[in-house]
Every structure is written in C-alpha cells, then in structure tokens.
Structure 1
Amino acid sequence: MVRREITGIGSVARLAEYVSAIDRYDLLLGLIPIAFAVAGLAGHVLGLPLEATLLGGVAIASLALFNGLFFRPPNGLQGA
C-alpha cells in the first residue's frame, strides 16, 4: 500500500497550478450551466414563466457555444 502525505493538500502552490491550467474553453463550458442558473433565478425573482426563463438561458448559453465553436474555434495548437 502506498502511503500518501496529506499535509500539503490545501497548499497555495497546488491551487495556483490548478487555476493556471484553466483555459478559455473551460470557462466557456462553465458558462453554460451558469447561464441557466442565472436565468432561472432571474425568472423566479421577476415572476417570469418557465418558457421565458429557459429562452433567456438558451440565449446566453448559445452565445458562449457559438463563440467557442464558430467565432473563435480551437486551432489544435494549445498545449503543443
């Protein structure tokens, strides 16, 4: 059995490595569920119907999707 050191789990250096590994496309993928969550919260607060709320979430998420796929697509050179 391998013994693991657990004292350095929350170190700042390790956290900085994870944050520096996040690229633009990770943020775009994270924006999609956040768009639906924000639209759902806004629809609940403003008393909008579910269809309008979903349409707002789809509009924001589709902007992120089209930006990542068509307007500024990945060129395959990341990490090379």
Structure 2
Amino acid sequence: MGLRDSTGIETGSRLAEYGSTIDRYDLLLGLIPTAFAVAGIAGRIFDLSGKATLLAGVVIAALALLDGLFFRPPTRPRGT
C-alpha cells in the first residue's frame, strides 16, 4: 500500500506493489506480441517483405511458447 498524505491521496506507486507478482510466464506472454511488434519495426527499417517480417515474429513467438509449455512447463504450487 502506498502512503497517504493529508488529502487522502496515495503518494506511493501502485506499480511497485505488483512488481513482485510478475512471474516468468507473464513475461513469456508479453514476449509474444512484443516479438511481432519488433519484427514489424525491423521490417520497416530494413525494408523486408511482409512474409519475412511475419516469419521472424512467428519464430520468436514460437520459441517463447515452446519454452513455456514444453521445455520448462508450469508446475503446481508446492503448498498443494
């Protein structure tokens, strides 16, 4: 929780509270659209075709999916 001043408005950042709850799988899910965005920007900069740009995004996203689902899959929490 953030600190409140005399007006009752929180002065602390709520983002800092959620920073510790972001885990590896959240980052992998964020990597998928980021891969397509970066590939699209690189395609524009280097004047690549749409197919090559899309293929680059698919390769990066597929690697993230394979890593998250097969190479290091999620496990049950230890308490259950």
Asked if these proteins are the same fold (TM beyond 0.5), I'd say yes
In the alignment of these two chains, the number of paired residues is: 74
Residue 77 of structure 1 and its aligned partner are, at CA, apart by 1.3
Residue 15 of structure 1 and its aligned partner are, at CA, apart by 2.4
Compared with structure 1, are the counterparts of its residues 50 and 6 closer, same or farther at alpha carbon in structure 2 (3 Å cutoff)? farther
Name the TM-score, length of structure 2 as normaliser. Answer: 0.82
Residue 79 of structure 1 and its aligned partner are, at CA, apart by 7.7
User: Relative CO higher for 1 or 2, CA cutoff 8 Å, sep ≥ 6?
Assistant: 1
After the TM superposition, which parts of structure 1 deviate over 3 Å for at least 4 consecutive aligned residues? none
Name the TM-score, length of structure 1 as normaliser. Answer: 0.82
Question: Any gaps of 5 or more consecutive residues in structure 2?
Answer: 1-6
**Percent sequence identity over matched residues?**
62
Matched, 1:71 2:75: no
